[in-house]
Structure 1
Amino acid sequence: MIAIQREPFDIGALYQRLVGEGHETGAVVSFVGRVRDFNESPEVTALTLEHYPGMTERALGDIVQQARDRWQINDAIIVHRIGYMTPGDDIVAVLVSTAHRHAAFEACAFIMDFLKTSAPFWKKEHTHGGAYWVRERESDLASLKRWEQQ
């Protein structure tokens, strides 16, 4: 399941959807990203996330497929919010189920690392002094390098 939405998500409901009635799942790893009150500016008051409809869903689907090609994933869920959010709001959820924990941890990290750098989302941070578009971070690009070696 891949969803792009304005509304908040319920991580418990997403977990229940992922595991369902299946008994082949031995591990579920989840990641939830939240709005911080700091980033490029030490005083972020809000952020606005935009995306390219259609292209974003395809990009996320491709990322999940790349993870499936590396690990035996039972299922994966990505929910990413768009629109205006304030510090403490959840932005993104990635959940992965597998038979064993190592694959679940690795696949979840892989999906999140590629989502941060390859999915067409644009983030505008708002501060008391104005708003600005967030630039690509070197640390996010560096996170991708570990996957090239595996």
Structure 2
Amino acid sequence: GKVLAAIGQVGLVVRGLYGEGTEAVGNLFQISNQITLGPSEEEILQNLAAVIRQIVEQERTAQQALLKANRWAMEDRVYRAYGTLTNARLLTSQEAIRLLSDVRLGHELGILNEVSYRTQNELLVLTQPAMMQRFADEEMQPETRDYKRAAIVRQRLKEGKK
């Protein structure tokens, strides 16, 4: 609440992961400049940096509160996500993002440190439909893409353990 209000006051806007009109997937958002005339690039960057610091602080506070309130539920959520990612045979892009986000939350909270941040970041990019299509030899149908996405995730998680 407070952070979103502050974002609007400095001329920034929060959107879903894929931009205007989209919803957040896996707790990933896009923050962009709403005002095109007036502030300099330096002012915009300073405002953005200040907002990001606030968001990170609020997120860490919320994460610790969640962990303190119900540790078992948080552990279960994180390990279920990891279990699905390491064993699934079909994964949609949205499911992959959501599950990877839960694994990242587990990493942040010290629950699950099996997967490095580097591997998590690579998977967030590599599992997007456009990236998968770019590296494919042919156009893929959604189910084929979901199958290959799951295979990529399983392989990278096996390789990317700390």
With structure 1 as the length reference, what TM-score do the two structures score? 0.30
With structure 2 as the length reference, what TM-score do the two structures score? 0.28
- Structure number having the greater helix percentage: 2
- Structure number having the greater strand percentage: 1
Bigger relative contact order, structure 1 or 2, given CA contacts below 8 A and separation 6+?
A: 1
For the pair shown, the structure with the greater C-alpha radius of gyration is: 2
